[in-house]
A = this chain, B = another copy of it.
């Protein structure tokens, strides 16, 4: 299971009932913000279908993407639980459908249902782990390594895999750069190299991993 999924797994029947009773649906167009930095969310959205990008504008003017989330992802869980403002912005990548519930309801249920609280903890802990990993990368790994790891992670997450070795990832050079904290140019150069080496193939807005094992070697050891 993805680290962000399963918030409502195995909750108490009364919780399920309350959730079912108050559930509402929403749809976001591609590029629309579900929640923006500084906003205090009054409801908790969960992704039903689609993909969202969690990011933050940085001082330099560019953007830094923290991670992508897909089906089952709770949006702004931390802000809802803490009843505080969003630290990050969540944007729909492609069309996104969500279910959503009033924040107050979620906070109440959290106190009533230990299982729900535990699920919430697991997810927040997962986010912390993911960001910690990224921080470690950012301060120790080369740009090549970071890009390789990002690709492998994306491949694992969206599991659009053709086979064991091959995976298709829809991402532009710029997005990949934002995700790894490097530049469009470095990302482009790196992918070109790997293309020549046969590790990947790529089109505009898409990367296909041809040799996951080879890429993993690059990610770990650096050639």
Interface of A with B (CB < 8 Å)?
Answer: 56, 58-60, 62, 64, 66, 78, 81-82, 84, 87-88, 110-111, 114, 117-118, 120-122, 124-125, 127-129, 131-132, 134-136, 138-141, 180-182, 220
Q: Which residues of B contact A136 (CB under 8 A)?
A: 56, 58, 64
> Min CB distance, A63 to chain B, in Å?
10
Whether the Cβ atoms of A135 and B131 lie closer than 8 Å is yes
Total copies of the chain? 2
Q: Which residues of B contact A64 (CB under 8 A)?
A: 135-136, 139-140
Once the chains are docked, how many angstroms separate the CA of A50 from the CA of B56?
A: 35
Whether the Cβ atoms of A82 and B118 lie closer than 8 Å is yes
Given B110, B118, B128, which contacts A124 in the complex, CB threshold below 8 Å?
A: B128
Whether the Cβ atoms of B131 and A82 lie closer than 8 Å is no
Given B59, B84, B117, B180, which contacts A140 in the complex, CB threshold below 8 Å?
A: B59
User: Chain A: interface secondary structure?
Assistant: helix
Given B110, B121, B138, B139, which contacts A81 in the complex, CB threshold below 8 Å?
A: B121
Whether the Cβ atoms of A132 and B88 lie closer than 8 Å is yes
> Min CB distance, A143 to chain B, in Å?
10
Once the chains are docked, how many angstroms separate the CA of A58 from the CA of B132?
A: 11
- The residue in chain B whose Cβ has the minimal distance to the Cβ of A135 is B135
Whether the Cβ atoms of A117 and B110 lie closer than 8 Å is yes
Once the chains are docked, how many angstroms separate the CA of A131 from the CA of B135?
A: 7
Give 11 A-B pairs besides A78-B124, A124-B128 with Cβ atoms closer than 8 angstroms.
Answer: A59-B220, A60-B140, A78-B128, A82-B118, A82-B121, A87-B129, A110-B114, A110-B117, A135-B135, A135-B138, A138-B138
Once the chains are docked, how many angstroms separate the CA of A150 from the CA of B127?
A: 23
Q: Which residues of B contact A60 (CB under 8 A)?
A: 140
| Sample of 21 A–B contacts (CB below 8 Å) | A56-B136, A58-B139, A58-B140, A59-B220, A60-B140, A64-B139, A64-B140, A78-B125, A82-B122, A82-B125, A87-B129, A88-B132, A110-B114, A110-B117, A120-B121, A124-B128, A128-B128, A131-B131, A131-B132, A138-B138, A139-B180
